[in-house]
Amino acid sequence: MRGPERLVLLGHPVEHSLSPRMQRAALKSAGIALDYEAIDIDPLAFDSLIGRLRELNAGGNVTIPYKERMRIACDEVTPIADLVGAVNTFWFDERRRLIGDNTDVGGFKAAVRDVMGSDPSELTVGVVGAGGAAAAVLAAIESWDRCIAHVYNRTPERARILCERFRSVANPVDDIGAVAGAQLVVNATSVGLRDDAFPLDPSMIAPGAVVVDLVYRPGETAWVKAARTRGHRSRDGIAMLVEQGALAFERWFGVTADRAAMWEAIPKS
């Protein structure tokens, strides 16, 4: 399988991202002589950059705020990316058609298995957020056994629209207390990425609930730390980051990613 000739991460901002460290470790382990570059891109430059990447036969990842925009730019998307409505992994095929995939779903499922020990069954999940990350969460929930989701967003209409796409498992809620009362509570927003803000007051979370934050920061997010202090099993977004990155690597090159090397490349504090 012919892989990309250049690898990039597209987003705004991207300076916090650990993906370059992680993917460079995977590339080195596989003996692939490529670098992985993070590009902080202005929204007005997005379309022209896609054209340049097509010429370079590039592949890569997409992060906030471009996952939905990349979905629209693609010539073809995988079924899971179509379901989620967002693309976080892309490459060009032999005809230079832009192909999009979503490995966030697999990444989220791995993060939940990491903290819970198995895929959930008969569980209520509370989700904060209604963007591409929340859609990936709902796609994962849809694949679990008899699980349902309560979705809260500060713009209720966005939550309603998202839940309509996943109506078999998701319903919008106006009261964040419904999210806090779930057995698994997920932050699918960017709150806590740049500071110690909480997407949800940890004191509201039901006793025994598991907490998963899709945001990651060196040394964990403040929300995860606060939840753990209150006795909750908690994980930040690192497990999801590694698995979605490993799955992306496998899409690009058709070889197994060295997950141990990727974990080792991540700073511990």
Task: Output the domain CATH number for residue 157.
Answer: 3.40.50.720
Query: What is the pLDDT, as a whole number, of residue 2?
Result: 72
129, 227: one domain: yes
DSSP string across 179-214: HHTSSEEEE-SSTTSSSS--SS-GGGSPTT-EEEES
Task: Kindly state whether residue 258 falls inside one of the protein's structural domains.
Answer: yes
Task: Kindly state whether residue 146 falls inside one of the protein's structural domains.
Answer: yes
Task: Kindly state whether residue 168 falls inside one of the protein's structural domains.
Answer: yes
Angle, CA 107 vertex, CA 48 and CA 194 arms, to 5°:
65
CA–CA separation, 176 and 199 (whole Å): 10
Residue-wise pLDDT tens for the chain (269 aa)? Answer: 579 999 999 999 899 899 999 999 999 999 999 999 999 999 999 999 999 999 999 999 999 899 999 999 999 999 999 999 999 999 999 999 999 999 999 999 999 999 999 999 999 999 999 999 999 999 999 999 999 999 999 999 999 999 999 999 999 999 999 999 999 999 999 999 889 999 999 999 999 999 999 999 888 999 999 999 999 999 999 999 999 999 999 999 999 999 999 999 998 76
Task: Kindly state whether residue 153 falls inside one of the protein's structural domains.
Answer: yes
Task: Kindly state whether residue 245 falls inside one of the protein's structural domains.
Answer: yes
Write down the catalytic residue from 67, 109, 225, 268.
67
Task: Kindly state whether residue 52 falls inside one of the protein's structural domains.
Answer: yes
Q: List % helix, strand, coil for the chain (3-state, nearest 5).
A: 40, 20, 40
149, 246: one domain: no
186, 136: one domain: yes
245, 204: one domain: no
CA–CA separation, 52 and 216 (whole Å): 30
249, 135: one domain: no
What sign does the dihedral 161-166-171-175 (CA atoms) show?
A: negative
Query: What is the pLDDT, as a whole number, of residue 16?
Result: 86
211, 252: one domain: no
How is the beta sheet containing 36-40 ordered, strand by strand? 36-40, 6-11, 58-62, 89-92, 98-101, 76-77
46, 74: one domain: yes
> What's the gap between Cα 214 and its chain centre?
7
What sign does the dihedral 71-42-21-233 (CA atoms) show?
A: negative
Query: What is the pLDDT, as a whole number, of residue 1?
Result: 53
245, 226: one domain: no
Total number of domains constituting the chain: 2
CA–CA separation, 69 and 24 (whole Å): 26
Task: Kindly state whether residue 1 falls inside one of the protein's structural domains.
Answer: no
125, 229: one domain: yes
Which pTM value belongs to this model? Answer: 0.94
We report the CATH number of the domain holding residue 22 as 3.40.50.10860
Q: Is 67 a catalytic site residue?
A: yes
Query: What is the pLDDT, as a whole number, of residue 80?
Result: 97
66, 111: one domain: no
CA–CA separation, 217 and 83 (whole Å): 28
217, 260: one domain: no
Task: Kindly state whether residue 269 falls inside one of the protein's structural domains.
Answer: no
162, 251: one domain: no
Domain residue limits at 173? 105-236
